[in-house]
Amino acid sequence: MDNNIQLKQQLTPDQLQMLHGELEMRKKSKVVMYLLWIFMSTFGAHRFYLGDTGYAVAMLFFGWLTLFLWPLIDVFFIGKRIDEKNTQLELEIISQIRANQQPQSA
């Protein structure tokens, strides 16, 4: 997180605007995440939404072994997970913006 702040301070106002626009389009929503958890947690839908396919498939096939306690426990961790995912996404977008940065001619 602190790394993202330092990297954002190095961006121009136009680049910051590009970052904000791209992040708004691509970031994961906590509302959608929790709705998926409420209605489809036993199928791991909230994990599929995050891109945690391995966890999602495991929940889908082995959730019944835990008497579906796994989704109940998962609710305490998915908020932090979505924050981590969005922070990672922001870092990727910053890296893309900086990679596409053209050197200014003198």
Q: What is the DSSP string of 35-55?
A: HHHHHHGGGTHHHHHHT-HHH
Please give the tally of structural domains in the chain: 1
Q: What pLDDT sits at residue 33?
A: 95
- Domain for residue 64, yes or no? yes
Question: Which of the four pLDDT bands, split at 50, 70 and 90, describes residue 106?
Answer: very low
Question: Which of the four pLDDT bands, split at 50, 70 and 90, describes residue 32?
Answer: very high
Whether 103 has a pLDDT exceeding 90, the answer reads no
Residue from 93, 70, 89, 85 nearest 33 by CA: 85
| pTM (2 d.p.) | 0.81
Report how far residue 24's alpha carbon sits from residue 89's, in angstroms, rounded to the nearest whole number.
11
- Domain for residue 47, yes or no? yes
- Domain for residue 8, yes or no? no
Question: Which of the four pLDDT bands, split at 50, 70 and 90, describes residue 85?
Answer: very high
- Per-residue pLDDT tens over the stretch 36-70: 999 998 888 999 999 999 989 998 888 778 777 88
Which structural domain, as residue segments, surrounds residue 64? 20-97
- Domain for residue 36, yes or no? yes
Report how far residue 4's alpha carbon sits from residue 91's, in angstroms, rounded to the nearest whole number.
6
- Average pLDDT over the chain reads 88
- Domain for residue 86, yes or no? yes
- Domain for residue 71, yes or no? yes
